Amino acid sequence: MTTAVKARRWGWWFVAEHRVSHIRAYWITLLVTSLGSPFVYLLGLGLGLGILIDENQGGAGVGGVPYLTFVTPALLLSAVMQGSSQENTFGTFGGFKWTHWYITQYASPITPAQMVLGSQLGILVRTSITAACYVVVIAVAGIAPLGRALLLLPVAMLLSVAVGFAVTSWVATQVDDRGQLSFVERFVVTPLALFSGTFYPLEVLPAYLQWIGWISPLWHAVELGRWVMYGADIPGWRLVVHVLFLVALAAVTAALSIRTFERRLDK
Q: Under the rule (CB under 8 A), what is the footprint of other proteins?
A: 25-26, 28-29, 32-33, 36-37, 40-41, 44-45, 47-49, 51-53, 56-57, 62, 67, 178-179, 182-183, 186-187, 190-191, 194-195, 199-200, 204-206, 209
The residue among 149 and 184 lying less far from other proteins, judged by its C-beta, is 184
Q: How far is the CB of 112 from other proteins (least distance, A)?
A: 26
Nearer to other proteins, 36 or 154 (CB): 36
Within 13 A of 74's CA, how many CA atoms are on the CB side? 23
Count the alpha carbons within 13 Å of 146 in the hemisphere toward its beta carbon. Answer: 4
Q: How far is the CB of 6 from other proteins (least distance, A)?
A: 34
Cβ closer to other proteins: 97 or 259?
97
Spatial CA neighbour of 56 closest among 67, 46, 45: 67
Check: CB of residue 105 under 8 Å from CB of residue 15.
yes
Closer to other proteins by Cβ: residue 146 or 209: 209
Q: Could you tell me how many residues make up the chain?
A: 267
- In terms of Cα–Cα distance, which of 140, 92, 151 is closest to 120? 92
**Cα–Cα dist 81/157, whole Å:** 10
Report the largest interatomic distance among the alpha carbons of the chain, rounded to a whole angstrom.
69
End-to-end CA distance of the chain: 30
Helical H runs in 57-100? 67-97
At closest approach, how far in Å is the CB of 28 from other proteins?
8
Shortest Cβ 206–other proteins spacing (Å): 7
Closest to other proteins by CB, 209 or 247: 209
Please list, residue by residue across 211-220, b when 16 or more beta carbons sit within 10 angstroms of its beta carbon and e when fewer do.
ebbeebbbbb
CA distance 216 to 193: 9
* Nearer of residues 103 and 209 to other proteins, judged by Cβ: 209
CB of 194 vs other proteins, minimal distance in Å = 4
What is the 8-class DSSP label of residue 1?
Answer: -
CB count within 10 Å of CB 210 equals 15
193 and 218 Cβ atoms separated by less than 8 Å: yes
**Residue 207 C-beta: closest distance to other proteins, Å:** 12
User: Using an 8 Å Cβ cutoff, are 162 and 250 in contact?
Assistant: yes
Residue 22 or 148: the one with the smaller Cβ distance to other proteins is 22
Considering the complex, state which of residue 37 and residue 111 has its C-beta at the smaller distance from other proteins.
Answer: 37
Q: How far is the CB of 255 from other proteins (least distance, A)?
A: 30
Least distance CB 127 / other proteins (angstroms): 16
